[in-house]
Each structure stands twice: as structure tokens, then as C-alpha cells.
Amino acid sequence: MSRSCSVWGGLSIVTLLTLVQWESCCWGMTLNSVQLHPASSRPARAEAGTVPLRHKRNWVWNQFFVLEEYTGDDPLYVGKLHSDVDKGEGRIKYVLTGEGATTIFTIDENTGDIHATKRLDREEQAYYTLRAQARDRATNLPVEPESEFVIKVQDINDNEPKFPDGPYQAHVPEMSPVGTSVVEVKATDADDPTYGNSARVVYSILEGQPYFSVEPKTGIVRTALPNMDREARDQYLLVIQAKDMGGQMGGLSGTTTVTVTLTDVNDNPPRFSRKSYQFAVPESLPVASVVAKIKALDSDVGANAEMEYRIIEGDGLGVFRVEPDADTQEGVISLQKNLDFETKSSYTLKIEASNKNIDPRFRAQGPFSDTAMVKLVVENVDEPPVFSSPISRMSVSEAAKVGTIIGTVSALDPDSTNSPIRYSIDRNTDLERFFNIEAATGVISTAKPLDREVNAVHNITILAIESRNETLARVSQLMDVNDNAPVFAIEYETFVCETAQPGQVIETISAVDKDEPPSGHRFFFSLTAEAAGNHNFTLRDNKDNTASVLTKRGGFQRREQAMYRLPVLIVDSGSPALSSTNTLSIRVCDCDSDGTPQACGTEAFLLSAGLSTGALMAILACILTLLVLVLLIVTVRRRKKEPLILDEDRDVRENIVRYDDEGGGEEDTEAFDMVALRNLNVARDSKARRDVTPEVPTLYCSRPPPYKITPDNGIFRDFIWDRLKDADVDPSAPPYDSLQTYAFEGSGSVAESLSSLESLSTDSEQSYDYLSDWGPRFKKLADLYGHNDSSNIFSS
């Protein structure tokens, strides 16, 4: 059979041999068709000289390939299944089962065509395993055994490279040579690395040049410039890009940042800011006291800036020493021997400062050390007299007479002036004046008879004073007994947080004692017997003259108890030992997360729950004040009389006004306009009086002044306002709505007034024949006045 290298494209496989040949020459090409062949019996033994035939296999399977991220509207064609049993008569149907069958992949049961109905993503699932079977359509019985095949999702470049560990933080020593490795960045691409260049990533640097570079294939970031100095710039921000498709155009890319920090190396020697220093030192300065501090500056940091100081020359060797301060890297000059201005008044030291950790690479730059001269000037101090013995013990018999010499004290002035000394007794220590002392010699004698049973020990203090300036020179305690009990050193303000845990230290207490034992104080702390069994607090003696107060439980609540009192027993080490009971007040507080109290005690609890008592009282006072003001305003308004004059804007349309106007009936549309009665635009000059007893008079105006008729019937409006004005200024007008009746006929009529009030008083005759020309409405008048004798009727 011939070997074919063409894509199947829906063609059937004839034999297995054909499949093997195709696979051998077309490996990796897309297979889109699978042929089903009928089953046959085992091959018969080959005759002599004949070639044995390979029998056909029922199913010939290979992988199907389908492209991911297909965006077409129609289902994507995957391939075709076909069996040799199928003769095209419609008796065979194809069934597909397995991963994604019927949901992702469908098969045409008649033709065996397989389609993908959903968009596939190789990164979610790279292949699907399915099973196919050919069945008889009538009986639904399989005509071929079920077999398994795979549909692989073919990759496209749809994922950009990503840096899962970015952004990066890296460190590199300053002054590193070019090419020093800083950090390796790694980008991953979710595309198929075995197919094309979709997952082949190339690295490049977008920002950070020319200081750094990156290897395109490995992603290793390296230094690109020499002698990068941390003291000039200590941090750089790089932007690294990873691009797939081997960096070719059209590839997808992703970026990350790399923050490179230059670490320090010892490349800077220490330097003193000055070459010489001078300090004053009082001669009375105690041994081991700090005399002065000097510092050499170093631009490096950390261990590279650690200093060593030493005195290399000078006349102060043995008198002074210099040591480095581990925190500030200063050279601390301290005193080793007592100073005496009268013996030596100044010292000169030459001090060297050098780095402790020197980098050999930079030793060639010069010595990593510097020197400075320090001059120490001793200041003269007027020193107090010094007793030959600071404490003296003297014994005397209680039977000694007054004036008996007990002993002598002696003191000297250490200054070069050697001033004479005067002695005296501090009478605060000898209130009953049992003893006297000679001011010039220091001889102590009795001044009163002594009684051992009353007082066995007298503790007095002798003062030695220079006669030159009468200043206190030295107080010397002759004898001390343990006659004072220890007490708290200060008034402690102790608190415990509501969130405190068991075993938490809430206070450290100490004690003081007015006595001064020769061996120093030693105090012992404990709880009193009645407080030892409490369930709230306990006491721990720290064996250093302090004690710690600890909680024995948690869950303290201010609302339950705002204050606890803890009695503490303090015992000294005197002979005999004295003790005192001191009460420690412990408040329960609301604390923040750092243990700082925010509110304490019951008053603070009220404040946290709402408002303090003072605030509540202030608010109540303000409310009461506002209520009183409101009541006063209401009372004043009620007592205020209603104004006697009506407001000019008061609407007077509530008055009922009646007019004797006959009008012209339904046909008369211009006789009277009600709009004129509602027009309030006419100014009113007078104000109504409201203080007159109500009366209801009826006003009649027989003849108003003549008015000219206007087309808008303004004559009626003017007449009404005139009448209202008259009523407003009338002091006898009622203060309420009243009925005002007016008889106004108007003026300017062609017929003039028909009232008999204005008829001529003369007996002259007048013709009224024109009334007949005025129409049917004046017919009655025309009949009455149309004859001469009618005038006599009206004139009478």
C-alpha cells in the first residue's frame, strides 16, 4: 500500500497497516476521522508460498484535536466516527459517552460526526477521554465493542506571562563589581510549552538602566555599573518584562517590579569633626564619673560604623580612660582617679578612633582611623572639711557628771587655703541639749545628766564648718539606731486593666527608710496575713528592695468593683527589725490595646456608659433654662393686647354688602362686574378701629358725588371703597363683620336719574316722549311719562 502524508479531513481508514504508515510519516498532524471495521475470525494458516494477511480490526483509534477558544457561532467540527458495519442504510446509530459527552461534545447518531458545542480552554482541561459505540437502531444492541479515545485541546497563545513571586525585594552590596547577581525573577506562562512558542518567555528590563541588566533567558538581574555608592543612593526600582513567543512581535507580556537596596560595606573611614577638644572637669568629680564625650563620624551604618577609642598619648594615662558607647558610637571619657586642683590643674590626651570591622578590599584607600587632642582643665572647688572618721562611737556612763568629756572629733580643710574649722551640734538631733561641743577643738562633753533607762542611745550629728565663709562643710553622723520603719517610696497610683490576664505584673513597688545602716538597706515585702488568701492579687519579692504586684485572675469589671485595697507588709533588716503595713490602692480601668488606661473607677464607668454627673447636671440646667424662657415668651404674648388698628393687608372681603341694583336681567351682561368687588389693589389710607361697642347702623347715601362711567365699571369699585373708608374712620362702627346697605344708582346715564329726589322743583313742563324710543324695557316709564298730565303725578 502506498504511504500518504495528507491530512485525513474526514476520509476513512481502510486497514491498520494504513494507519501505521500514516502515523509514521505524518506524526503530529491533526486526525479528524476514525474508521470502524467489522470483526473477523482469526486468520487461517498461510499456505506455502503465500503471504499471510493481517485481519482488520473493529476500531482504529487515534487522538482527535480541537482548537481552544473557538469563537464561531456554529458548533466546532471535531471529527467523524464510522464503522464498516454501517452500510449507509440507517440501521446503525452512534453513541458517545465519557467526559463532556452531550454537554461539551455531541455526536450525530446517523453520520458519526462529532462537534464541540462549548468554548474550550486548554488551561482548564487539556484533554477529554470519551467512549464510542455503534448500536443497532432497531434493537439498541451493540454491533461493535465499546472503545475509548481522547480529544486533545490544542493550545493557542491566550495567556500572558505572569510573575507569581513578584514584586521582588533584593539586596546587593554597594561597590559590587559589574555582573554581580542580584536576584532571579521567574515568569510562568499557562500556555502549552510543548506546542509552538506560546510559552517560551524572554526577559528584558524596562526601567533601571544603566545600573542593572537582566539575562533574557534566565531572568537573572545583575549589576551593570561599578562603584555604586550607598551613601549617594541606596535604593533602585527596576521594571522587568517577560514576553512570550520568544520575544517576537505579537507576543503577550507581563511585568513586575524589583526593588534593589544597596547594603552597606565599610568603605568610609571615621573622621573627627575637630582636631582638638577642651573640657572643664571639677576636682570634686567622683571616680567613674563621665568627664566628656567625643565622636568620630562615619558615613557607614551598622557594624561597619562601630568604633573603638583608645588613648595613645598624653599625661592623663591612668587618670582617665575612654570607652565606646555601643548605642551612639561616642567615645566616653571617664575618671579613674580622684582629681586635685592643687596637685595638677590640667591634662592632655591624644585619642584615636578606628573602625572595629575593616573590609580588606578598601584598606588601600588609607587608614580607617583618626586622632584628636583632648585637653581636660581641672576646676578648683571649695571642698568641705573632711572628718578623720565619718562615724564615731563613743560611750559614757549614765552616772557621768555634767561637763564630762566624752570624746573629740577632728576635721581638716582639703583646700590649699587650709581654713580653720568650727564645730557645732545639729540641734535637730539633740533637741534636749544633752551634749555640748567646743567650737574650736571639737571636744564633746555632757550638758545634762543622762539616764540609760530613759534613752540608752543618743544619735547626734556634728557639723564642721570653715570659719572663712561659715558654709556647711560636712555632716558627720556619729551613731544611728534602727528607729524608723520602712514605708512606700512614693504614693503609687496603681491600676489594673479589665482585660488583664492572670500572672500579669501591674505594679513594681519599692520602699524607703530614714535610717542609714552601715551595710545599706535591705527590705522584705509580703502580704499581710488577712490579705494572703485573696483571689485577686499576689506579691512577689524581687530580692532587690522591690516587689512586683501580680494578678491572680482575669476578668476584672469596674461595674462589679472599681477599687481594690491591698495591704503590703514591709520589713527592714535592722536590729531590731521594724515593719510597717502600707495599703496599695488598685483601680480597675478600661484600657486600650497597648494597656494605656482610658477610663478608671465608677465615675469613668458612668462616663463610658453615658455622661458624667457634671455633664448631666449641666444639660439639665440648660433644658430648664430653655423651658423657663419659653414659658416667659408665651406668657408675654398672651398678656399682650390685640392691636387697635387692623393690618392694612387684612382681607375685608368677608363683609356682606347688598346693593339695590335692578340690572337688566339675563340679557344685561354689562350692568355689574363682580370682579371689581374682589379687587383689593386700591390703596386704603385709614385703619379700622376695633375698640368700639358693636352697633349695627344702616348708612344710606342719598347722592354720591358724580362719577364718570368707565367701560370696566370702575365707578362701582370706587363707590364701594369710599364707603369702606367712611366706615373705617367712623368711631361708632362695629368691630366685627357688619351689613352695610347702600342705594347707589350711578350717574352719567343717558336717561339720567329716575329718582324723584332729583326731579325739578319747578312746575315747568317737560316732555318724556323720548322714552318710547328706548325700547321695550322703558315701555312702562314711557306710558307713565308720555302725557303731559303725568308730570303732575311726579311733581306731587
What pLDDT sits at residue 680? 44
**Per residue in 759-770, pLDDT tens?**
544 454 567 777
What pLDDT sits at residue 665? 56
770/181 Cα distance (integer angstroms) = 134
**Strands across the sheet with 181-184, in order?**
181-184, 220-223, 212-214
Over residues 658-675, the mean pLDDT reads 54
Over residues 747-754, the mean pLDDT reads 54
Residue 762, CB-side half-sphere exposure with 13 Å CA sphere = 3
Compare 757 and 473 and report the one with higher pLDDT.
757
Over residues 26-52, the mean pLDDT reads 39
Compare 660 and 723 and report the one with higher pLDDT.
723
Stated as kind and residue range, the H or E segment containing 576 is none
What pLDDT sits at residue 701? 39
- Contact criterion met (CB below 8 Å) for 720 and 677: yes
- Strands (DSSP E) contained in 542-674 are 546-551, 563-571, 579-591, 597-600, 656-659
pTM above 0.75, yes or no: no
Percentage, residues of the chain above pLDDT 90: 31
What pLDDT sits at residue 528? 92
**Per residue in 135-146, pLDDT tens?**
888 888 888 888
Query: Which of 449-458, 538-547, 781-790 has the lowest average pLDDT?
Result: 781-790
Query: Could you tell me if residue 555 is left (phi over 0), alpha (psi between -120 and 50 degrees) or otherwise beta?
Result: left
Compare 82 and 233 and report the one with higher pLDDT.
233
3-state secondary structure of 716: helix
Compare 243 and 24 and report the one with higher pLDDT.
243
Measured in whole angstroms, the distance separating CA 450 from the mean position of its chain's CA atoms is 77
Element counts in the chain: helices (H) and strands (E):
7, 43
Which of the residue ranges 447-456, 535-544, 787-796 has the most confident prediction, judged by mean pLDDT?
Answer: 535-544
Compare 54 and 601 and report the one with higher pLDDT.
601
**Average per-residue pLDDT in the chain?**
77
Query: Could you tell me if residue 399 is left (phi over 0), alpha (psi between -120 and 50 degrees) or otherwise beta?
Result: alpha
3-state secondary structure of 389: coil
Q: At residue 758, what is the residue type?
A: E
What pLDDT sits at residue 748? 55
pLDDT at 487 over 70: yes
- Contact criterion met (CB below 8 Å) for 66 and 149: no
**Per residue in 602-653, pLDDT tens?**
555 544 445 567 778 889 999 999 999 999 999 888 876 555 444 444 454 4
pLDDT at 193 over 90: no
What pLDDT sits at residue 659? 56
pLDDT at 696 over 70: no
Over residues 538-547, the mean pLDDT reads 92
**Per residue in 103-134, pLDDT tens?**
888 888 888 888 888 888 887 888 888 888 88
| Local confidence band at 259 (pLDDT 50, 70, 90 cut-offs) | very high
What pLDDT sits at residue 242? 93
Compare 664 and 421 and report the one with higher pLDDT.
421
| Local confidence band at 772 (pLDDT 50, 70, 90 cut-offs) | confident
pLDDT at 239 over 90: yes
What pLDDT sits at residue 755? 53
Q: Let me know how long the chain is.
A: 796
Q: Which residue carries 510597717 as its cell?
A: 580
Query: Which of 244-258, 354-368, 771-785 has the lowest average pLDDT?
Result: 771-785
Cα–Cα nearest to 613, from 604, 623, 622, 600: 604
Over residues 721-738, the mean pLDDT reads 73
Q: At residue 22, what is the residue type?
A: W
What pLDDT sits at residue 452? 85
- Contact criterion met (CB below 8 Å) for 540 and 548: yes
**Per residue in 564-600, pLDDT tens?**
999 999 999 887 888 999 999 999 998 988 888 888 8
For the record, the C-alpha cell of 87 comes out as: 452500510
Query: Which of 13-27, 309-323, 388-402, 755-769 has the lowest average pLDDT?
Result: 13-27
Over residues 680-693, the mean pLDDT reads 45
675/656 Cα distance (integer angstroms) = 15
pLDDT at 739 over 60: yes
